[in-house]
Amino acid sequence: MTLQQKELFQKSPLLLENGETLSPVLVGYETYGKLSESRDNCILLEHALTGTAHAAKHYEDDAPGWWDDYIGPGKTIDTDKYFLVCTNVFGGCSGTTGPSSINPKTGEPFRLQFPGFSIKDIIKVQRELLEQLGVTRIVSVIGGSMGGMQATEWAIDYADITDSIINIASPLAAGPDAIGYNLIMRMAILNDPDFNGGNYIGQPEGGLATARMVGMMTYRTSELFSKRFERFTVAESSPAAFSKEHFQIESYLQYQGDTFVERFDANSYLYLTKAIDLFDVTAPTKDDLPAFAKIKIPYLLIGITTDQLFRIHDLRRGYALLKDWDVPVTYHEVASEYGHDAFLVEKEVPKFEPLIRSFLSNLPVKSI
């Protein structure tokens, strides 16, 4: 079964954290496995910034998913045991309402008239979807990068139906360097002459491609780039000034930018990177306690020592804070030349899979 869609918040609008409302909201999602009769064997999988709901293949000839190595019969997320749900995030552009969706009030795309939203709002939409699907309990919410932020927010907002959290490579609040990178990427888009105040035709290709190239430099490591590209040049390339593809690293980044433009909406990129920047569960709530202090369910935190986006010192600080506030947290660090994206790399599965499998194996799940 491939991408499915549900229309939510038809009777009462979605109330966003900033006080704005939106109705209805269309959600794109994919499911794997079968919901048990007791409806309590669900795992919710959260994708990263530019991911989609297509986490794994549904059949042999299906397109590859972004976490195929972990999902399927007998795998880490055993679809003979669990009912897996993965949604395209609210504000995205792969099946869920976002800036490129049609505004029912105007008949035109929302563009920059789309309301600002937070990680809290993203998971609020997911919560409504799971209720519509009949899920009564969630075995675990699993996510990496921006997905880890969503998982953490689930532990705070919906612990009443959530049994555990697995957060891979995501801090309790974005650090200043990550916020800085996001600003540079947004400015590349905003300053593109084709951006046109968000009312572009097609895409602001140069700006969006540049944003993706900046992002790629933070998702991997300098060690990996040195090992893979060194100062190798492209065959029959020109060393002329300002050539885009003289060196192999230039060709690689240009390819990443060009292909990204074909699949992701520039306005969604603006909104989602801002939601990442604003995420901060260390900030005090109304009771003057940090938001994460409410977490009382098992929480697996995995840091990547070579991460150049969400630095390991931020993950270590997060672990120390969680432990100080008696959150039932388990922490592991993974070393990988692939850096931030290591959890998405097939070669690195043996480093992450045992940690996730062991954590899940200690959680009670009723038979289907």
Q: What is the pLDDT along the chain (368 residues), one digit of tens a residue?
A: 689 999 999 999 999 999 999 999 999 999 999 999 999 999 999 999 999 999 999 999 999 999 999 999 999 999 999 999 999 999 999 999 999 999 999 999 999 999 999 999 999 999 999 999 999 999 999 999 999 999 999 999 999 999 999 999 999 999 999 999 999 999 999 999 999 999 999 999 999 999 999 999 999 999 999 999 988 888 766 666 666 778 899 999 999 999 999 999 999 999 999 999 999 999 999 889 999 999 999 999 999 999 999 999 999 999 999 999 999 999 999 999 999 999 999 999 999 999 999 999 988 655 44
How is residue 33 written in tokens?
């496995």
Strand ranges (E), 39-144: 42-46, 71-72, 77-78, 83-87, 138-144
Torsion of CA 80, 85, 88, 91, to 10 degrees: -170
Active site (annotated) includes residue 307: yes
Active-site position among 40, 78, 307, 314: 307
Three-class secondary structure of residue 134 per DSSP = coil
Closest to 267 (Cα-Cα) out of 347, 186, 322 = 186
d(CA 264, CA 273): 13
Q: How far is CA 150 from the centre of its chain?
A: 8
Residues 6 or more apart from 19 whose CB is under 8 A from it? Answer: none
Three-class secondary structure of residue 350 per DSSP = helix
**What confidence score (pLDDT) does residue 243 get?**
67
Amino acid of residue 82: Y
Torsion of CA 269, 43, 280, 157, to 10 degrees: 120
Closest to 184 (Cα-Cα) out of 309, 96, 84 = 309
**What confidence score (pLDDT) does residue 238 get?**
67
**What confidence score (pLDDT) does residue 368 get?**
46
Instruction: Tell me whether strands 42-46 and 138-144 are parallel, antiparallel or unpaired.
Output: parallel
What class, spelled out in words, does domain 4-173+284-362 have in CATH? alpha beta
How is residue 69 written in tokens?
């190595």
Is 341 part of any known ligand binding site? yes
- Annotate 312-328 with b (16+ C-beta within 10 A) or e (fewer): bebbbbbbebbeeeebe
Active site (annotated) includes residue 340: yes
d(CA 222, CA 249): 11
Active site (annotated) includes residue 145: yes
- Annotate 107-133 with b (16+ C-beta within 10 A) or e (fewer): eebbbeebbebbbbbbbbbbbbbbeeb
d(CA 96, CA 351): 32
Strand ranges (E), the chain: 4-8, 14-15, 21-22, 25-32, 42-46, 71-72, 77-78, 83-87, 138-144, 165-168, 299-304, 329-334
Closest to 344 (Cα-Cα) out of 142, 81, 62, 125 = 142
Domain segments of the chain as ranges: 4-173+284-362, 179-273
Closest to 30 (Cα-Cα) out of 60, 9, 10, 6 = 6
Instruction: Tell me whether strands 165-168 and 138-144 are parallel, antiparallel or unpaired.
Output: parallel
User: What's the topology of domain 179-273?
Assistant: Rna Polymerase Sigma Factor; Chain: A (1.10.1740)
Active-site position among 140, 145, 164, 268: 145
Q: How far is CA 238 from the centre of its chain?
A: 38
How is residue 163 written in tokens?
């049994």
Is 194 part of any known ligand binding site? no
Contact between 139 and 41 under an 8 Å Cβ cutoff? The reply is yes
Q: Which helix (H) or strand (E) holds 31?
A: strand 25-32
> Is the overall model pTM greater than 0.85, yes or no?
yes
